[in-house]
Amino acid sequence: MFLYYTYPQYLHSDSASYILLAEDILRSGTWLPQSWHYVSGSISIVDVGQIALPFVKWLGITPLALACAATVGASILVAAMYYLGRTLGLDKAASACAALLVISGPSMLYLDLVLGYMMSAVLAQNVLFLAMVCKVVDGKFSRRYIIVAAMLLALLFASNPKKAFAFTLLPSACAAIACWLSARIAGEQVVKEMVRRRDWLLRAIVAAVVVGTAFHVIAADFLSINTSYARHQLISNSAQFIINARTLWRLALEFLGITNLATNPNGIVHSLGTIYRVALIVTVAAAFVFVSARAFRLRQRSRMFLVSYVFFGTGLITGALLVGEPIKEHYGIYYLVFTLIPVAIILILAMGELPKKYKSIAVTTIISPVLLLSTGSLVLSSLTSAQPIYSGPGINQKTTNADKENLIRWLGENGIHHGYAPFWDANAITVLSKGRVRVIAARLLYGDGISPIRWLVSDEKITGVQAETPVFMALHNNTFSDTAIAQCFGTRPSYLVRPYRVVIFHDGVTDCLSAPPAVALPG
């Protein structure tokens, strides 16, 4: 319901780009198209762009193809979480429950990142890596587990070495060292086996890192990879630390569904949801402390590793955010998703230790509401309110999908099928029109015309739109003055298609194109 009805109402260019990448893969016949502009230092190797291939081939550039691809990605994440649960000793029902918790909430921001942004495939790779390490930490030194872990680690490093190091390797290494030290202090026999297998383990890890990083470096020579969002610059003063702390706290509240950016929250429903989520956070925190203490006391090594991974990973990433460059709105919190995903397993582990008579109460008061609260309340609000409770990256959009569909109808009536629009609108318009209108993200520059944004787009599409006539430029109305529009476009006709101001280029757009750098108009 969420992916097929609610989320398409908030479709934005980042999520829509996966479908366009799949189209480019099919067009070029290559797994990694050279014409595609990858972003944030990441290469989509085994990701939702590849998962979407059969759906784009069968359904075309449509929201339905996007929803189907996202469903498969979410299913892979659920399967990975289920496997991790079974690895940690949970029964089938408990493992399934923990897996479903991961795709249930707790907020639209979370659902947008995990399902809409389709981080699910990469998250699944990380979860499977943790499962393999848990087996090794438990003393199962089978080469099969070590080789699979190495292959997953190599894949993560090949996609993005920085993220693989920060989200996977570093916290896992810290957690493994903590488990090893604890076992050594306790004088456990497994320490001798770990020492005996140390060289083999280290070789596998080093080989995975080297191979993955080498692939990424080589690929970067013939692929276009924007690294602007992957840079990390330390702050220069304590004032920025305070600003970062406040921003991170606010984003954390939004991420947990305790606050939202909508102007008309759904009254008592939102208030009750907020109270429940606060209680849930307290419960999860208590569960983490309980499982951690029990795991270390009873020498449950795989559980010791998992809670240590959550502790070190969350702590290291939070520290990096606090002392780094200003935290980006809506995006800063997503880095924590990788290390917080196992919290669902930890919550179920804690419930498993409850006396039998309390387990049904816990399921009724904790698990069932979690599975229903976020998605159910969001779907309900979308059916009953003009502006549902929402807090996610798509909030950057200044228009709704109804506005985009109105623009698509107007363009169709006037025989216009190619053009430019602000970033958050462009790819979404292409997908919502089912490919009938091809739109390139662009900025409007003072005195210099239109500058295409090379971000999650193919060079072929950029040059293809440039060659078409007529071409449009959709601007957010009231964002630009008539003087600014006249300065950029001269006497070319413009029309008000609320909430857009649409400028038409009957003779082509080539003479109005500008290459960066230049001063961009807002929007």
What is the DSSP track for 498-522? TTEEEEEETT-SGGGB-PSSSPBPP
Claim: this prediction has a pTM higher than 0.95:
no
| Percent above pLDDT 90 for the chain | 31
| Strand-pair category, 471-476 with 418-421 | parallel
Residue with tokens 């030290």: 181
With cut-offs at 50, 70 and 90, classify the pLDDT of residue 57. very high
Q: What is the pLDDT of residues 478-491, one digit of tens each?
A: 776 677 677 777 77
- Classified as helix, coil or strand, 450 is strand
Q: What is the pLDDT of residues 71-100, one digit of tens each?
A: 999 999 999 999 999 999 888 888 888 888
DSSP state of 231: -
Least trusted range by pLDDT, from 136-145, 299-308, 399-408, 466-475: 136-145
DSSP state of 310: H
pLDDT at 254 over 60: yes
pLDDT at 374 over 70: no
Question: Higher model confidence: residue 41 or residue 2?
Answer: 41
Max CA separation in the chain (angstroms): 83
**pLDDT of the residue at 368:** 56
Contact (Cβ atoms closer than 8 angstroms) between residue 310 and residue 88: no
pLDDT at 189 over 60: yes
Cα 96 from Cα 86, distance rounded (Å) = 9
Phi, psi at residue 99, to the nearest 5°? -65, -40
Cα 399 from Cα 113, distance rounded (Å) = 20
**pLDDT of the residue at 171:** 94
Cα 163 from Cα 160, distance rounded (Å) = 6
**Which pair of structure tokens corresponds to residue 422?**
């602000």
pLDDT at 263 over 80: no
DSSP state of 61: S
pLDDT at 235 over 70: yes
Cα 75 from Cα 67, distance rounded (Å) = 12
Cα 127 from Cα 340, distance rounded (Å) = 11
Among 313, 312, 292, which Cα is nearest to 304's?
A: 292
User: From the centroid of its chain, how far is CA 164?
Assistant: 15
Phi, psi at residue 443, to the nearest 5°? -110, 150
pLDDT at 317 over 80: yes
pLDDT at 239 over 60: yes
**pLDDT of the residue at 264:** 42
DSSP string, 333-400: GGGGHHHHTTHHHHHHHHHHTS-HHHHHHHIIIIIHHHHHHHHHHHHHHHHH-SS-S--SGGGG-SS-
**pLDDT of the residue at 406:** 93
Cα 125 from Cα 164, distance rounded (Å) = 11
**Which pair of structure tokens corresponds to residue 160?**
């993005």
Alpha-carbon torsion (111, 115, 117, 119), positive or negative: positive
**pLDDT of the residue at 414:** 93
**pLDDT of the residue at 390:** 44
pLDDT at 256 over 80: no
| Percent above pLDDT 70 for the chain | 77
Rg (CA), the chain: 25
**pLDDT of the residue at 290:** 86
**pLDDT of the residue at 27:** 93
Question: Higher model confidence: residue 294 or residue 200?
Answer: 294
Least trusted range by pLDDT, from 157-166, 406-415, 475-484: 475-484
**pLDDT of the residue at 229:** 66
Cα 416 from Cα 286, distance rounded (Å) = 58
**pLDDT of the residue at 60:** 94
pLDDT at 191 over 80: no
Q: What is the pLDDT of residues 320-342, one digit of tens each?
A: 888 877 677 656 677 788 888 88
| Cis peptide bond prior to 393, omega within 30° of 0 | no
**Which pair of structure tokens corresponds to residue 458?**
């193919």
**pLDDT of the residue at 517:** 38
Query: Which residues have CB under 8 Å from 98's CB, separation 6+?
Result: 81, 82, 85, 90, 344, 345, 347, 348
Region class of 77: left (phi > 0), else alpha (psi between -120 and 50), else beta: alpha
**pLDDT of the residue at 329:** 63
Q: What is the pLDDT of residues 132-160, one digit of tens each?
A: 999 888 877 678 888 999 999 999 999 99
3-state secondary structure 70-85: HHHHHHHHHHHHHHHH
With cut-offs at 50, 70 and 90, classify the pLDDT of residue 522. very low
**Which pair of structure tokens corresponds to residue 187?**
């004088």
| Strand-pair category, 494-497 with 438-445 | unpaired
Contact (Cβ atoms closer than 8 angstroms) between residue 456 and residue 13: yes
